[in-house]
Amino acid sequence: MGHIVIRNLNKHFSERRGARRTGNGAGGLAGETISVLDDVNLEFENGEMVCILGPSGCGKTTLLRIIAGFDEQFEGQVNVDGQPVDGPCADHIFLFQSSGLLPWMTVRQNVGLGLRQMQDQAKHDETLREYIEIVELEGFEDHYPHQLSGGMQRRAELARALAVNPELLIMDEPFSGLDFFTHMKMREEVVNMHDYIGKTMLMVTHDIDDALIMGDRIVVMSGRPSTIKLARKLDFPRPRDFEHNEELSRLRAEVFLMLGVPYAV
């Protein structure tokens, strides 16, 4: 489960401020719309780790929000497991770019959000402990989010997402704001987690190396209006090594170029 098909997806924002600004003859009409996603066609296999790259503000987050069901104002078809998306649900968990942990709840309460329906108290506690152990937050169960470091907050949110055993995990820049070492550790943890649970994961990132190291599939989007510049499967063995795998290093240079960054400044 977690098979995603996107056909002819178009998304516009009506730019009210823009309409006022360009209203005095600069060619803008009142109620002008800005195209964010332009005819996006994508297909992700079940269980894939998909990394989406693109310049700032290109609509990566918008794409994720549409797949998660938070944004229903679009044209085209977005199917998850053969069903058109219909609002958010606990099978498609979204990890927010800024922390989505509820600040008034402890780690235990936050992670327990997805287990509210569980009747059996012993099983509930067991599952809770299991997921807190997976992200190595034992001993921090009764801490509030603001008492945790940035990396621990991300791990707690990851545990909360995994605890509901979702078919699809959607992550919006899960490593942003983390220091270098925490970033590296988190990357490893997410890859291991993906190997372990085998569910489809979508991840938006700014980091080309993240995408090439983690992804089973990489998607590169252009600036606004966003089109798909590249969508390819990455069949490289892990651990991935840019220096010794020529094809991977060629691809890396290509992606850098595609994103308009001259490689190796």
Partner 1 sequence: MRNNRFKLKYVLPVISFTLLVLIWELLARYAGWSAHVFPAPEQVATGMLELIADGSLFKHAVASLYRVTMGFYLAFLIGVPTGIVLGRWQFARTLLNPVVQFLRPISPLAWIPLAMLWFGIGDPPAIFLIFLASFFPLAVSTMIAVTAINPTYFQVAANFNFSAWERIKLIVVPAIVPAVVTAMRITITIAWLVVVAAEMIAVQSGLGYLILDSRNALRMDYVMDGMIAIGAIGLLLDVIMKRLGRFESTEWASG
Site residues (vs partner 1, CB under 8 A): 68, 70, 87-90, 92-94, 96, 98, 100, 102-105, 113-114, 116, 144-146, 164
Helix 121-134 to helix 150-163 angle (10° resolution) is: 140
- Residue 105 vs 258, nearer CB to partner 1: 105
- Residue 89 vs 230, nearer CB to partner 1: 89
- Residue 158 vs 248, nearer CB to partner 1: 158
For the chain, count helices (H), then strands (E).
Answer: 8, 10
CA distances from residue 102 to 25, 38, 145 in whole angstroms, order as listed: 47, 35, 8
- Residue 90 vs 231, nearer CB to partner 1: 90
Q: How far is the CB of 143 from partner 1 (least distance, A)?
A: 10
Sheet holding 200-204, edge to edge: 92-95, 168-172, 200-204, 49-53, 217-221, 228-233
The one-letter amino acid code at 198 reads: G
- Residue 93 vs 204, nearer CB to partner 1: 93
Whether residue 107 contacts residue 137, with contact meaning beta carbons closer than 8 Å, is answered with yes
End-to-end CA distance of the chain: 42
Q: How far is the CB of 42 from partner 1 (least distance, A)?
A: 22
Phi/psi zone of residue 63: left (φ > 0), alpha (ψ -120 to 50 degrees), beta?
Answer: alpha
Which among 69, 99, 55, 98 has a CA at the least distance from the CA of 205?
55
Q: How far is the CB of 212 from partner 1 (least distance, A)?
A: 29
Q: How far is the CB of 128 from partner 1 (least distance, A)?
A: 14
Whether residue 153 contacts residue 101, with contact meaning beta carbons closer than 8 Å, is answered with yes
- Residue 164 vs 214, nearer CB to partner 1: 164
Q: How far is the CB of 235 from partner 1 (least distance, A)?
A: 32
Q: How far is the CB of 97 from partner 1 (least distance, A)?
A: 9
Q: How far is the CB of 89 from partner 1 (least distance, A)?
A: 7
**Residue 35: which H helix or E strand, with range?**
strand 33-44
The answer, yes or no, to whether the previous bond of 239 is cis (omega within 30 of 0) is yes
Alpha-carbon radius of gyration of the chain: 20
